[in-house]
Amino acid sequence: MKAARVEAPHASVMILEVEDPVPGPGQVVIRVTASGVCGSDLHVVDGKLGRTKYPLTLGHEPAGIVHQIGEGVSRFRKGDRVLLYPTTGCGTCMFCIGGKENLCPAARSYGFEFDGTDAEFALVPSERYLYPLRRLSDAEAAPLACAGVTAYHAIKNHVVGLAAPGDSVVVVGAGGLGHLAVQMLRALSPAHVMVVDTREEKLELAKSLGAEDIMSPSEFGRLTDAARKSRVAAVIDTVGSDQTLSLGFDTLGTGGRLVVLGAAGGSLNYSGPDAKDRMVAGPILGSLTEMRETLELAEQGLVRVVHRDFPLEKVNEVLAMVRGGQVTGRAVLIP
């Protein structure tokens, strides 16, 4: 089969022929029909994560069709359309027992610790990690597997219940994560939704998806509390640079929460006296249940995934576009 391989850090991705996976007992092989491109794929290419096992196949945001099932697989059969949960756990720790594989200390992920999904086929270690698709197309579903469930987990756990009617929530960055976060906020929270981005076309997309105010970072930084007319209860930072972290934290009202989803590697300077009961949260992915809830939001049409599709062979061009912030919505590779 064809696969997008990273042979070593700092090398370009190569489309290589590798052996087709074969399912063992309890395992499933899916034919990948769509695989979203995430900002963290760049960390694998750039060699920024100590845990990456090279060489490997890139990608962790797939939808596909069940191709082969191993002995004992009972809930799925060949031909079923599915979305794949993007990480795997040890199966025995207190987190895994509760379906929170995202918090498992021994979690291993496609495209990081083992072969990913930017390939014609992917080996899934358990049917536990598959979700049937109904109405959504494969390319609409795929970005939910990382960007969607990450935004949903963050909003459900860190914003819902904190942001009251009359409060604002600010989304920093209107890309793959941000355009989904805006819609989830509108679906799940009464807060006024503001979006900050440097690119006009992304701001326009956010507005079309329900953002009530859109602005550039400098416009936003100049806003006084009085002009905001509401407490900023939460800032969802999908960028995570030095600049966005400090902009976000400085903007928070009393008791507000900075929810960091972006992994740009920034750090936040903090000094105690003016703490105002503010908090910083670092959510990671989402649980198995939250994956199902995320999918349900999209299946019901409450969240629309905006995607641009590219053939798998364009993986290097697409990664360059993601690096340059040039993708509106999510880029999806079609193997």
- Kindly state whether residue 96 participates in binding Zn ion, applying the rule CB under 5 A: yes
Q: Residues 89, 111, 143, 335: which binds Zn ion (CB under 5 A)?
A: 89
Instruction: Supply the minimum distance, in Å, between the C-beta of residue 51 and Zn ion.
Output: 14
Kindly report the number of other CB atoms within 10 A of residue 249's CB atom. 20
Q: Which of 33, 40, 109, 117 binds Zn ion (CB under 5 A)?
A: 40
Q: Which of 104, 172, 205, 295 binds Zn ion (CB under 5 A)?
A: 104
Work out whether 34 is an interface residue with Zn ion (CB under 5 A): no
Cα angle for residues 329, 333, 335 (degrees, 5° grid): 160
- Cβ proximity to Zn ion: between 90 and 223 the closer is 90
Within positions 174 to 233, which residues make up the interface with Zn ion, using CB under 5 A? none
Size of the site for Zn ion (CB under 5 A): 8
> Is 195 in contact with 206 (CB distance < 8 Å)?
yes
Least distance in Å: CB of 273 to Zn ion? 37
The CA distance from 259 to 252, in Å, is 11
250 token code pair: 């400085």
Name which of 53 and 135 has its Cβ closer to Zn ion. Answer: 53
- Letters for 128-147 (x = contact with Zn ion by CB under 5 A, - = none) are ------------------x-
For the chain, what is the largest distance between any 2 Cα atoms, rounded to a whole number of angstroms?
A: 64
Nearer to Zn ion, 215 or 281 (CB): 281
Judged by CB under 5 A, which stretch of 18-26, 100-108, 173-181, 248-256 contacts Zn ion?
A: 100-108
Q: Which of 1, 42, 93, 263 binds Zn ion (CB under 5 A)?
A: 93
Q: Does 45 bind Zn ion (CB under 5 A)?
A: no
Closer to Zn ion by CB, 69 or 177: give it.
Answer: 177
Which of 76, 60, 90, 71 is closest to 127 using CA atoms? Answer: 76
Q: Nearest distance from residue 323's CB to Zn ion, in Å?
A: 15
Question: Interface with Zn ion by CB under 5 A: which residues?
Answer: 38, 40, 89-90, 93, 96, 104, 146
